[in-house]
């Protein structure tokens, strides 16, 4: 059978997708049998949450930008499906690759399923078992319609098997987030942001907070910020404020926010705009503690060996608790304060035993994925040729 290039449509929609797609797209570009195309749905569209990541992750500009923008979950999902559906009908790729668990992930996977184009889901099988999280719905639906499911940890295969997905579709390849982290780490460590803020290594805390369950209730948000303010009496807390969180803090009327320092040095809560990828990794790498409700940050701290407290009742990344540096502390601000003090004052690490990154979190996930794609696509092409022979 003569060699051919398979057209692969790779989708990103939001900031977390870009760290996963960057190393994979580079690997695809170096594979002679692939013709990769990059589609940005525009779910995140401002410079801080989008364009700067293309630049720092050395990603090419998207071949297509759907410019969907923000909106309710259902309106955003519908807009992505309509615009991506039109694009797919025009170009008819051989395969669609989606990453993560944002609305764009699910929407584009559904388009592929309806257009009878195979879908590959990177970061498949992760489950929080909490259907109140929009991301959980996105994960379950995306996995249900995907033909190839690439997993980051071994528990994911068990979740998929319980949902009736054939093991033949599941491939344990490792974590693309860690591929990006490994490639960027030296540059990130040279970031000047820490020096500009007067931060001393292992003497400050990094905070991220954005999930609706944590920021939408004004009273609960105020209690959480009060607890964080207690931590900040002795340890500077660097808080890159997500635009959504910033609006919720303003709406809550939290009085303590008036005393925060906006990007200044010293103790207290140091608020800064969403940091670039390199600046943020540089901050996290030298932190004494990270407090987060993010999924990807649980993984990055586990690789870096930085203590992490996850301010959630559940996690879809259990390997970060079992083998990493992550401790799940629930959503009680008092419990968060106790756990933070135990790490910062008593020296109790959040991890159990010696720090060793989880299996296959080694910077080589992209190569494994492209290897699976090679076998799958050539197999599909061979079957197609055989079918044509049968018809003759």
Q: Is residue 91 part of a domain?
A: yes
> Where does the pLDDT of residue 1 fall: very low under 50, low under 70, confident under 90, or very high at 90 and above?
very low
Q: Is residue 290 part of a domain?
A: yes
pLDDT of residue 349: 73
pLDDT of residue 390: 45
pLDDT of residue 180: 97
Q: What is the C-alpha separation between 158 and 321, in angstroms, rounded? A: 17
> Where does the pLDDT of residue 355 fall: very low under 50, low under 70, confident under 90, or very high at 90 and above?
confident
Based on the structure, what is the number of domains in the chain? 2
Residue span of the structural domain in which 266 resides: 192-344
Q: Is residue 40 part of a domain?
A: yes
Q: Is residue 181 part of a domain?
A: no
pLDDT of residue 385: 59
147 with 110, same domain? yes
226 with 169, same domain? no
pLDDT of residue 50: 59
Task: Kindly report which listed range (29-33, 125-129, 379-383) carries the lowest average pLDDT score.
Answer: 379-383
CA separation, residue 31 to residues 3, 12, 302 (Å)? 12, 20, 31
Q: Is residue 351 part of a domain?
A: no
pLDDT of residue 46: 58
340 with 365, same domain? no
27 with 153, same domain? yes
233-272 tens-digit pLDDT = 999 999 999 888 888 888 877 756 555 555 445 578 999 9
Q: What is the mean pLDDT of residues 352-362?
A: 80
Q: Is residue 298 part of a domain?
A: yes
CATH code for the domain in which residue 99 is found: 3.40.50.2000
225 with 337, same domain? yes
Closest CA to 301 of 291, 315, 311: 291
In three-state form (DSSP H/G/I as H, E/B as E, the rest C), the secondary structure along 92-159 is CCCEEEEECCCHHHHHHHHHHHHCCCCEEEECCCCCCCCCCCHHHHHHHHHHHHCCEEEECCCHHHHH
Residue 389 has pLDDT above 50, yes or no: no
Residue 369 has pLDDT above 80, yes or no: yes
203 with 166, same domain? no
Q: Is 210 tagged catalytic? A: yes
Q: What is the C-alpha separation between 334 and 341, in angstroms, rounded? A: 11
Please list, residue by residue across 241-251, b when 16 or more beta carbons sit within 10 angstroms of its beta carbon and e when fewer do: bbeebbebbee
Task: Kindly report which listed range (42-51, 101-110, 168-177, 326-335) carries the lowest average pLDDT score.
Answer: 42-51
366 with 335, same domain? no
Question: Helices 218-231 and 333-344 sit at what angle, rounded to 10 degrees?
Answer: 20
For 25-39, the DSSP string reads HHHHHT-TTEEEEEE
165 with 42, same domain? yes
State the catalytic residue, choosing from 44, 210, 242, 374.
210
pLDDT of residue 62: 94
225 with 254, same domain? yes
157-168 tens-digit pLDDT = 999 999 999 999
> Where does the pLDDT of residue 121 fall: very low under 50, low under 70, confident under 90, or very high at 90 and above?
very high
Q: Token match 């106790």: residue?
A: 338
pLDDT of residue 66: 94
Q: Is residue 179 part of a domain?
A: no
More confidently predicted of 52 and 200: 200
CA dihedral 210, 233, 300, 46 (to 10 degrees): 40
149 with 205, same domain? no
Q: Is residue 143 part of a domain?
A: yes
For 282-328, the DSSP string reads HHHHT-SEEEE--SHHHHHHHHHT--EEE-SS--S-THHHHTSSEEE
Residue 382 has pLDDT above 50, yes or no: yes
Tokens of 368: 């494994």
């Amino acid at each position: 059978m003569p060699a051919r290039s398979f057209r692969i449509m790779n989708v990103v929609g939001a900031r977390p997708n870009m760290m996963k797609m960057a190393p994979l797209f580079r690997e695809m570009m170096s594979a002679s049998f692939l013709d990769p195309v990059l589609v940005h749905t525009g779910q995140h569209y401002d410079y801080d949450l989008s364009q700067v990541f293309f630049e720092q992750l050395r990603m090419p500009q998207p071949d297509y930008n759907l410019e969907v923008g923000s909106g309710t979950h259902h309106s955003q999902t519908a807009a992505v499906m309509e615009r991506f559906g039109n694009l797919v009908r025009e170009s008819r790729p051989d395969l669609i690759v989606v990453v993560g668990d944002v609305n764009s992930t699910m929407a584009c996977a559904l388009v592929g399923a309806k257009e009878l184009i195979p879908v590959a889901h990177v970061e498949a099988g992760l489950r929080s078992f909490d259907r109140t999280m929009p991301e959980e719905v996105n994960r379950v639906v995306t996995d249900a319609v995907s033909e190839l499911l690439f997993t980051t940890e071994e528990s994911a295969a068990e979740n998929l098997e319980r949902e009736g997905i054939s093991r033949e579709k599941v491939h344990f390849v490792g974590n693309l987030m860690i591929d990006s982290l490994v490639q960027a780490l030296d540059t990130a460590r040279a970031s000047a942001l820490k020096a500009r803020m007067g931060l001393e290594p292992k003497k400050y805390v990094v905070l991220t907070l954005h999930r609706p369950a944590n920021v939408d209730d004004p009273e609960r948000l105020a209690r959480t910020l009060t607890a964080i303010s207690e931590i900040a009496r002795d340890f500077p807390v660097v808080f890159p404020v997500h635009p959504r969180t910033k609006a919720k803090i303003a709406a809550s009327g939290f009085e303590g926010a008036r005393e925060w320092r906006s990007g200044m040095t010293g103790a207290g809560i140091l608020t800064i705009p969403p940091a670039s990828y390199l600046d943020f990794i540089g901050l996290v790498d030298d932190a004494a503690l990270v407090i987060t409700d993010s999924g990807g940050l649980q993984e990055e701290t586990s690789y870096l060996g930085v203590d992490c407290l996850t301010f959630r009742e559940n996690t879809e990344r259990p390997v970060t608790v079992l083998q990493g540096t992550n401790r799940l502390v629930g959503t009680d601000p008092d419990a968060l304060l106790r756990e933070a003090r135990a790490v910062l004052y008593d020296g109790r690490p959040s991890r159990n035993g010696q720090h060793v990154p989880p299996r296959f979190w080694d910077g080589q996930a992209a190569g494994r994925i492209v290897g699976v794609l090679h076998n799958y696509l050539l197999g599909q092409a061979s079957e197609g040729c055989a079918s044509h022979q049968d018809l003759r």
